[in-house]
Amino acid sequence: MSDLNDALEPGSAWLLTSATAINENGDIVGTAIVDGQAHGFLLTTQIAPPPPGDNQPPLAVADADVTSGYAPLTVTFSGSGSSDPDGDMLSYRWDFGDGSAPDPSADPIHTYDTAGSYVAVLTVTDPAGQSASAQVDIRVRRPRKGR
């Protein structure tokens, strides 16, 4: 197998005749013609991080199927309307405002057992560490008598 960096003169070219495999790193194994001779090659690939300043922050969108009711109140939250203008995958973190553990789901279900007013906050984060938040106000009333 030849190192094409050593085999090629500056300004010269080579012709890919076959790419036979791609390994787990995304590197390509194949055959190339250089000066009329076949050479095996390994083309290593690297994904460059985006240049600084090019990443845009995501947009957080928080919603809930109900925002008020009697305790215990079960709420289905939705953060799946959130997006990233760069097309990056997002991580999710819901803080329900009642002292419970945060939830990393996009669309969690949470039950409020105690009457009160709560602010549920969704924070979405992209791979570059940019984040955005949105909130939903929840009002839980005391259970009705006789329940």
Q: Compute the half-sphere exposure of residue 134: CA atoms within 13 Å on the CB side of its CA.
A: 19
Q: Where are the domains of the chain?
A: 4-43, 63-141
d(CA 48, CA 146): 63
CA distance readout (Å), 112 to 5, 77, 115:
64, 12, 8
**pLDDT for position 14:** 65
Q: Please tell me whether the overall predicted TM-score, pTM, comes out greater than 0.85 for this model.
A: no
**pLDDT tier at 30 (50, 70, 90 boundaries)?**
confident
pLDDT of residue 34: 72
Q: Name the strands in the sheet holding 37-43, side by side, starting at the edge strand that comes first in the sequence.
A: 15-22, 28-34, 37-43
Say yes or no to pLDDT of 146 above 90: no
Strand order in the sheet with 109-112: 63-64, 73-78, 109-112
What CA–CA distances, in Å, run from 116 to 71, 94, 122, 143?
9, 18, 19, 11
In this structure, the strands spanning 73-78 and 63-64 are: antiparallel
For residue 145, name the pLDDT band (cuts at 50, 70, 90): confident
Better-scored residue on pLDDT, 137 or 24: 137
Other CB atoms within 10 A of residue 115 CB: 14
CATH class, 63-141 region: mainly beta
Q: What pLDDT shows up at residue 49? A: 62
pLDDT per position as a tens digit, 39-55: 777 777 766 665 666 88
* Percentage, residues of the chain above pLDDT 90: 60
